[in-house]
A = this chain, B = another copy of it.
């Protein structure tokens, strides 16, 4: 079955701080039309930073849309036109204070395919020199370090639900088993 949809018209219905929202009209494969809502997001990165003892850095922060504190790998939004690897190198220092060494791209993740343009590029790196944490004014986070076994247990118990954190944890385990990352 042919699946591709094409844009007939685009209407921006909200142009905000982080996101923009469009309500488009799309032509479906059978020739009919349908409304398509799209949240436009610049995309971002998630970074798994491993220390010398094999533990990974995690941030806990209040996630307003979820109404709860969540534990996640460090992450951040791309600046306009920024290469995601540069975003990753910048964000890991800003959030943890440490630079990353030997960045490896683990893959891309689409968190919300049905209605959002966001793509998260996933990176692995080793802990480097301390450069000093530098958070945004409205960003309050706590840092913690956990081994892959510890984070896996929290995921299995249902205590960690952030999609990138679940996906990255298992991808790192898979790539370590395959020898893709040391």
Which residue numbers of A lie inside 8 Å of B, CB to CB?
1-5, 13-14, 16-19, 21, 23-24, 26, 28-30, 32, 34-39, 41, 60-66, 69-70, 72, 107-119, 137-138, 140-142, 152, 155-156, 158, 161-164, 166-167, 170-171, 174-175, 178
> In the complex, how many angstroms separate the beta carbon of A66 from the nearest chain B beta carbon?
6
Given A3-B142, A140-B28, CB of A161 within 8 Å of CB of B110: yes
Report the separation of the CA atoms of residues A62 and B115 in the bound assembly, to the nearest whole angstrom: 11
Copies of this chain: 2
A158 touches B64 (CB 8 A): no
B16 touches A36 (CB 8 A): no
A72 touches B116 (CB 8 A): no
B65 touches A113 (CB 8 A): yes
B110 touches A163 (CB 8 A): yes
